[in-house]
Structure 1
């Protein structure tokens, strides 16, 4: 989807010059989207940290497991300490992403600069090289640290339990409420996702400009206020996305009654942090040449923003919003613990009663809803493109 949103002028020019489709994509489109691809890769690394915490809540260990124990034993001071540790890990990943992207942009500018020594070898950036090596080393180290036994995926115990699960889950059972209740829960899930993403998209779009780091820094009180405000905004967005949605749901339900609204608010807080970070990085990665040209021709800052920046980012903003809508459909499942309406609550009740054939039917309904949302999202993106 990131590649779909990139202007294809360079790729078309290369194709017209005789380049193959693969070469035009590799050397014409990918370099243009490379900064956004790096940004999204680091974002997924951040997501993996939070997902590991969610898995820990169901017994996989780590911060999530300790967090669940603290919540169950009502040790809220300990719970918030663990949450701050989770926020710190996400903040370190975010900082790493920022340094790599800024250094990569600087290296790209230096590569395009005119040099008189054509025979000089290209300079390697230490941060970029060390980051690539760190990423390569972290994979085997993680296997060693977790003592992962891959053979457990196909040993006799896994095969036996897999057969029992398939036997208990087939055929799927809709339950006492019948098809009408299943469809009603599916519609509640879609409504919950739409409501939460609408709130998150408005908040994120409003603060994306403030959260982005300025590409050109100069002295003065205005720049100091800009940097300070951006730091505070990024910190708030970091907290919003670092705390997993189930934890936000528990926090919100202390203030509101269980139901649809606490689930929508919890997902909105989390997705506002996610969208705010991604949209801010789109603004940071944006080519400022059109805006600079308008300012040089006498346009005001508001005019340059309206006619250069907004048209350049609006398509990618909408694409991210639609993508997060698809993700929010699945995230509604994990806020079912607070009694939010929809397939999440239904799945939580079925899991508690070990109703495997009912769980399978609910999962099939979730797959159908996700497919419908994906088709609608793709259609909207094609229309806007």
Structure 2
């Protein structure tokens, strides 16, 4: 009986929270189906078809897709390198002070969303793919660094300790005693974040960071819906291909 009352209490609390949120935000959901709203939505959706398949536009979209792919790949690679370096500190390999500082830095990097980093990098480095690459690298370094550090903390220390006792240096003990145990997990984390960064790189163009997102922003701003539909289809195709490739690589690594 007590559990039923507690469950009912939480359901009522959640319901009251949802109602309060709708009221506070002044959301007019009935307005979506009143009057000519549905007809306007159908008309706007229909303006995206058929997608623009002219050779010149397809060539531009192809270049944008390659730019988006390059932004995500380079940004993820830089993030993995920086995250790996910071994870050694965050895992306490160089003392408690370095651990606290590294964890604070990792928390700061990942707490700022990619779009905010991109807006800051556009101001610092100018419009274009360089800003998008830096934005992805900074945010993802915070995420991967924390994941890498947790993997290091959960790795058995016996192999590295045995190498140290046998006379190996700290670097050799890490490379041959610790790294082989965490490397597959690090690579799996990196590939998963690359999947996410493909999607994010396609969005960062809305703040001037290049790639397909910038093409989509321009076409929507100019009311060129058929061209925007081509860009959206290119985004979907690229994400599906990268997801399939990443899943295959993770299975091979596992």
TM (norm. structure 1) is 0.54
Could you say what secondary structure the match of 2:51 adopts? coil
2:36 pairs with 1:167: no
| Corresponding position of 2:252 | 383
| Corresponding position of 1:335 | 204
Q: Choose the corresponding residue for 1:205, options 81, 84, 88.
A: 84
Residue pair 1:175, 1:358 contacting (<8 A) in 2 also: no
**Distance verdict in 2 for CA 1:296–1:266, change over 3 Å:** closer
Deviations 1:134-163 (A, max 9, x none): x99996575345238999389624754542
Aligned pair count reads: 238
Residue pair 2:122, 2:131 contacting (<8 A) in 1 also: yes
| Corresponding position of 2:161 | 295
**Alpha-carbon separation, structure 1, partners of 2:62 and 2:142:** 31
Deviations 1:216-240 (A, max 9, x none): xxxxxxx9x7222111111111221
| Corresponding position of 1:190 | 69
Flag structure 2 segments of 5+ consecutive residues without an equivalent: 1-9
Could you say what secondary structure the match of 1:269 adopts? helix
| Corresponding position of 1:248 | 117
**Alpha-carbon separation, structure 1, partners of 2:192 and 2:30:** 31
| Corresponding position of 2:7 | none
1:341-352 aligned within 5 A: 341-352=210-221
1:195-344 aligned within 5 A: 195-212=74-91, 214=92, 226-284=95-153, 286-288=154-156, 291-292=157-158, 295=161, 298-299=165-166, 302=171, 304-344=173-213
**Distance verdict in 2 for CA 1:176–1:287, change over 3 Å:** closer
Residue pair 2:159, 2:178 contacting (<8 A) in 1 also: no
1:125-204 aligned within 5 A: 143-147=18-22, 152=29, 156-157=33-34, 159-160=38-39, 162-174=41-53, 177-204=56-83
Residue pair 1:347, 1:362 contacting (<8 A) in 2 also: yes
Residue pair 1:243, 1:270 contacting (<8 A) in 2 also: yes
Could you say what secondary structure the match of 1:341 adopts? coil
**Alpha-carbon separation, structure 2, partners of 1:337 and 1:191:** 17
Quick check: 268-277 or 248-257, which moved more? 248-257
**Alpha-carbon separation, structure 1, partners of 2:42 and 2:80:** 43
RMSD between aligned residues: 3.2
Moved over 4 A (4+): 135-142, 148-151, 157-162, 299-304
Deviations 1:106-125 (A, max 9, x none): xxxxxxxxxxxxxxxxxxxx
**Alpha-carbon separation, structure 2, partners of 1:280 and 1:144:** 41
Flag structure 1 segments of 5+ consecutive residues without an equivalent: 1-134, 215-222
